[in-house]
Amino acid sequence: MDKKKNRRAFIKSAGRALAGLLMVVAIPKPGRAQRIHEIEIGEDAPDWLDHYWVYLIDTTKCIGCGACVRADKRENSVPPKFFRTWVERYQITEDNHVHVDSPNGGHDGFLPEDLAQLLTSVELETDGSPQGIGRVKKQGRVTKGFFVPKMCNHCRNTPCTQVCPVNASYQSPDGVVLVDKTRCIGCSYCVQACPYGSRYIHPEKHTADKCTWCYHRITKGLLPACVTVCPTGARKFGDLKDQSSEIKKLLSTQRLNVLKPELNTEPFCFYIGLEQSVR
Amino acid sequence: MIYSEYLFPNDMHIYWSLMIVTYPFITGLIAGAFIASALFHVFGLEELKPISRFALMVSLAFMVCATLPLLFHLGHPERALNVVITPHWHSAMAGFGFIYSFYLVVLTLEIWLSYWEEIVAYSKTSASGVKRLFWKTVALGVDETSGEIRQANRRAIYILGLIGIPSACTLHGYVGFIFGSLKSNPWWSTPLMPQVFLLSAIVSGLALLIVMYIALSSKGYLTWSFECLRTLCFYLWLSMLFYMISEGLEILFFFYESSDAWFVISTLLSTKLWVSFVLIQVGIGIVVPFTLLSIMIFVRNNQGAYTTMAVIAAATALFEVWMMRWNIVIGGQQFSKSYVGFRSYHPEWLDQEGILTTMGLTLLPFLLLYLLTRILPMKEAVEDEEPPAEVEPG
C-alpha cells in the first residue's frame, strides 16, 4: 500500500512540475516581445504605428515610359516575366472597342511608332460577338488613349491574406500587405484569391511574391523605387497620419476611384482619372 | 464595350496544376465508399452488406493517399505541417488538416471495430510470434469476441457511421468551399460549389465501388449479390440526379444573371472548355451514365445486361467526375483576372506535377488497397449472428 501511495504521490507531483514547466515555457512573459524587438531591431527603429501608408496614381499624368517597372525590377530583383508593378496602355476607338496591351509589363516603354500607328488606324482582335473575343478584325479610329500603372492594391479587406493557410501573407500595422517568405508554403491560394493579378509564385524561391511598396525603403524614410523615378509625378506615396503631406491633401480634394470596387476589397491604392473601361 | 484579348502580365502561368485536379478526385472517391458503408451500418440497408466492409477499406486506401498530390504541388512541402501547427483560422484551407484528420480517425476506428473478430482471431492463430504480437497490439491485448463485445462494437460502429456522415459532408463540401469562396474567380465563385463537390464526390465513390464490386465479385473475392449492385446503382442514379441539378442550376444562374461573370464564363464555355466541358463532361460524362442508370431502373431480371450497363455507366460517371475536376480547376485558371484574356494549359509528362505523377498517384491507392486486402479480408463477416445461447438442461 505504501509503495502504491508513494507512486501515486510521485506521479501527482511530477505531473504538477511538468505542467508548471510547460506554462513557463509556453506563455510569453510581459515585456518579452519588447525585449526581442529592442535586441533585434534596436531602439532607433521606426515605430510602425507612427505611419499609415497610402498610394495614389494619377493616370492623367502617366506617359508610359516604364521607368517605374525598370526601377522596381532592379530594386527588388523581380524575376524575368514576372511583375510587381506594370503599366497598361488603353486605346479606345470611336466604336467603343477597347484595346489593352502591356508588352513586357511596360518595362521597355511603349514604342512611339506603335502609338502613332494606333492613333490613326488600328486593327483590333474582336469578333463582333456579344462577348467580343474572337478573330475577326475591325478597324477604328482611336479617340481615347491613356496609361494605367498597376500593382498590389494593399487592400484593407484583403482576399489574399484572408486565404493564406499559415498567415505568411499578412498586413503590417502601417497598412502594407507583406509576405513572410520563411513561412510561405507556396500553395498559390493567395495568387488565386487576388483579383488584380498582383501576385505570383517566385520561380526560384517557390513562395508568393508581390509589391511591398518597397517596405525596406519606406521604413527608412525613403520613397518606393517606382515613385522616386516617375518623371511626371503620376505615382504618389505618403503617410495618412502626416496631416501636412501632399498625399493627404490630394486624397481629400481629388475625385478618386479604385480598381474593381464591386469586390469590396477596399484597396489602398487610389486612382485619379480612372476610366470605367479599366479592368 | 468590346475588348480585345488581354492578359495581366502575371497571369501567364497556371499555378493549380494536374495535382490540384487529382487531389479533389482522390478525396471524392473516399466519400462514396464511406456513404455506401454508412447506408448499411447506419440506415440498415442490408442489401449493401456484401460491400460494407470493403467500402471502408477503399475509403481508407484513398484517404491515406489524398494529401500526396498536395505535397507534390506545394512550393515548400517541408512546411506543409505548418497548416495544422500554426493555422490561420481565416483561411478556408487551414481547416483541411483538422477535418481530414478527424475523418481519418473516424474511418480507422470504424475499420478497427468492423474487423474486430478477425483481429482477435489473428492475435491467437497467427503462425509467427511477431505477427501475433502485432495483432495483439492492434487488439489492445483484448481477446474477447463474446456477444456482449460484438454488440458494443456494433453500437460503436453505428455511432461512428453517424459521426462519419457529417464528417464526409464537411470534408467534401469544404473542398468545394476552397474554390467557391474566391470572389476573384467568376467560374468558381458560387455558393453551389460545396454542394457540387459533395454530390460529385458521392457519384465518383459509388461509381468506383460499382466497378470494383463487379470486377472483384466476378473473381470470387467479394460475395455476389444482384440486389447489392442494384442498390448501389440506384444510389448512383440518385446522387447523379442531384449533382446534375446543382451543376445545371449553377450555369443557369450565371446565364440568367448575365453579369460580368457570364461575360467570361460564356466565352470560356464556347472556346477553351467547349470540348472538355460541353462535349466530354456533359455530352458523354453526364448523358451516358444517367441515361443508362435511368434505363437500368426498369431492368429487373436480365442480370447480364444490367451488369454490363452498370460497368459502362459507372466507368463513364467516374470519368465525368475527373473531367469535372479538370474543368473546374484548370478551366477556372484559363482566363486572366482581366476577364478578357485566355490561356492554355498543357501538362508535361515528366514534370513534378505532370501526367506520369498524376497516373502514379491515382494508381497508388489501388496498390495500397491491394496490400490492405492482404492483411484483412475483403468479404463481409461470415458469422454475424449472436452465438447461440447455452441451453439449460431440462
Question: Does B5 lie at the interface with A, CB-CB under 8 angstroms?
Answer: yes
Do residue B1 and residue A96 have CB atoms under 8 angstroms apart?
yes
Q: Which of A132, A162, A188 sits opposite B16 (nearest CB)?
A: A188
Q: Which of A85-89, A115-119, B97-101, B318-322 has the lowest mean pLDDT?
A: A115-119
pLDDT value at residue B308? 97
A29 versus A248: the higher-pLDDT residue is: A248
Asked whether the whole model's pTM tops 0.90, one would answer no
* Rounded percentage of chain B residues whose pLDDT exceeds 90: 85
**Of B3, B12, B73, Cβ closest to residue A100:** B3
Average pLDDT over residues B316-342: 97
In angstroms, rounded to a whole number, what is the distance separating the alpha carbons of residues B211 and B192? 28
Contact A102 B9 (CB under 8 A): yes
| Residues in chain A closer than 8 A to B353 (CB atoms) | none
Distance to chain A for B105, nearest Cα, Å: 22
Quick one: pLDDT band at residue A106, thresholds 50, 70, 90? very high
B379 within 8 A of B222, measured Cβ to Cβ: yes
Q: Domains in chain A, ordered, with CATH?
A: 53-63+152-272 (3.30.70.20), 86-151 (no CATH)
Mean pLDDT (whole number) for B261-266: 93
pLDDT digits (tens, 9 = 90+) for B197-223: 999 999 999 999 999 999 999 999 999
ipTM of predicted assembly, 2 dp? 0.93
Alpha carbon of B212: minimum distance to chain A alpha carbons (Å): 34
Q: Is pLDDT at B372 greater than 60 in this prediction?
A: yes
- CATH classification of B14-375 is 1.20.1630.10, yes or no? yes
Q: Cα distance from A99 to chain B (closest Cα, Å)?
A: 5
Boundaries of every domain in chain B: 14-375
Contacts with A, B 174-213, CB within 8 Å = 178, 182-185
Query: What is the rounded average pLDDT for all residues in chain B?
Result: 93
Three cell numbers written together for B72: 507534390
- Test A189 with B178 for CB contact under 8 angstroms: yes
Question: What confidence category does residue A138 fall into, taking pLDDT thresholds of 50, 70 and 90?
Answer: very low
Chain B residues closer than 8 Å to A130 by CB: 266
pLDDT band of residue A21 (cuts 50, 70, 90) is low
Partner-chain contact B15 A101, CB within 8 Å = no
- Find the angle CA(B220)-CA(B221)-CA(B226) to the nearest 5 degrees: 65
Percentage of chain B exceeding pLDDT 70:
96
Q: Where are the alpha helices (DSSP H) in A29-167?
A: 32-40, 67-76, 112-120, 159-163
Res. B237: pLDDT tops 80: yes
Q: What is the pLDDT of residue A19?
A: 73
pLDDT tens-place string over residues B70-113: 999 999 999 999 999 999 999 999 998 999 999 999 999 999 99
Question: Which of the four pLDDT bands, split at 50, 70 and 90, describes residue A219?
Answer: very high
Closest Cβ opposite residue B88 in set A126, A165, A206? A165
Whole-number pLDDT of residue A29: 45
> In the prediction, which pLDDT does B394 show?
34
Q: How many CB pairs under 8 A join A and B?
A: 158
Cβ-Cβ contacts under 8 Å, B12 against chain A: 81
The secondary structure of A71-97 as a DSSP string is HHHHHHTPPTT--SEEEEEEEEETT-E
Determine the distance from the C-alpha atom of residue B347 to the mean position of all C-alpha atoms in its chain, rounded to a whole number.
24
Give pLDDT, residue A133: 41
Amino acid B102: pLDDT? 95
The alpha carbon of residue A97 is apart from the nearest alpha carbon of chain B, in Å, by 5
Give the C-alpha separation, B52 to B67, whole Å: 24
On the question of pLDDT at B356 being above 70, the answer is: yes
pLDDT one-digit tens code per residue, B49-58: 999 999 999 9
Q: Is the pLDDT assigned to residue A191 strictly greater than 60?
A: yes
